Amino acid sequence: MRSLHNVLAPAKLNLFLHITGQREDGYHLLQSVFMLIDWCDTLHFDVRDDGVIEREDLTLTLPADDLVVRAARALQQASGTPLGVHISLEKHIPAQAGMGGGSSDAASTLLALNRLWGLNWPLAKLLPLGLALGADVPFFMGGHNAWVEGIGEKITPIHLPESRFVVVKPTSGLETARIFGHPQLQRDTETATMPSFAVNPYGFGRNDLQPVAQALCPEVAQALHWLGSFGLHPRMTGSGSAVFAQLPDGVLIDSAPHSWQMRVCSNMAVHPQAGWAARES
């Protein structure tokens, strides 16, 4: 195998995000449900025999040392392979949106190169590399929608009913550190249970980061208000500026104002690369 083309890296939405506490080391304890959606980046991989790792940007220009390059280098160093790779990246998932685009790209890179370089590592061996790159990377490597707890490392696969969602990304972005470091962030939400979530999965809970995000980025409040004007019940996803709402049948939204990015997405039951790494050695 010398190439892998059209490797999809899907975005995620946080159906809810509760902050239940904070550890002594500063990390926040959370509960959330991560849901895969079909807003995807696309990656193409071609093996190099000289050990060089390089990335070509086909859409947006990204930082030279982004998560894709760091993921490839981490796997190359950990495995000792003499092979390299040319990675072409079609970037479509917005940055600073709370949709996990960079983490998803890194996860798809690890899974693809595990195959392309002939390593055939089990998932359990790849996951520590993913976690070192970012807290969301193991979720995308796991292959399924999930109930997430702890600091993001406790991942339990769950089933979600099929549905459509409208996702809006305002022009402005948000940096995760600004929100989690804000003194007004609520950090003591009562612990939830999976049975209580299952009663109303697309209406359960809230995003505890949203009030702080609205204060830091007025466009978040504007986007929430705009989606609400259609009779929807929007909320922010993750720690970024993107907002979303479940889209009932019969509700049509053709475009968003203010040059915002908008897509109508469907959720995904399984990650496109699920099964690319064996769960046991």
Residue 102's pLDDT is: 96
125 is catalytic: no
Q: What is the pLDDT of residue 239?
A: 92
154 is catalytic: no
Q: Catalytic: which of 41, 136, 169, 208?
A: 136
Rounded to an integer, what distance in angstroms lies between the CA atom of residue 178 and that of residue 220? 15
For position 281, what pLDDT does the model report? 53
Distance CA 91, CA 279 (A): 29
Spatial separation of the C-alpha atoms in residues 147 and 31, rounded to whole Å: 7
Query: Mean pLDDT in runs of 10 for the chain (281 residues)?
Result: 95 98 91 98 98 96 95 98 98 95 97 97 96 93 96 93 97 89 93 97 97 95 96 95 94 90 97 90 53
Q: Which pTM does this prediction carry?
A: 0.96
Cβ atoms 96, 173 nearer than 8 A: yes
The CA distance from 147 to 149, in Å, is: 7
Domains, the chain, in order of start with CATH, read 3-157 (3.30.230.10), 164-266 (3.30.70.890)
Annotated active-site residue in 12, 105, 169, 208: 12
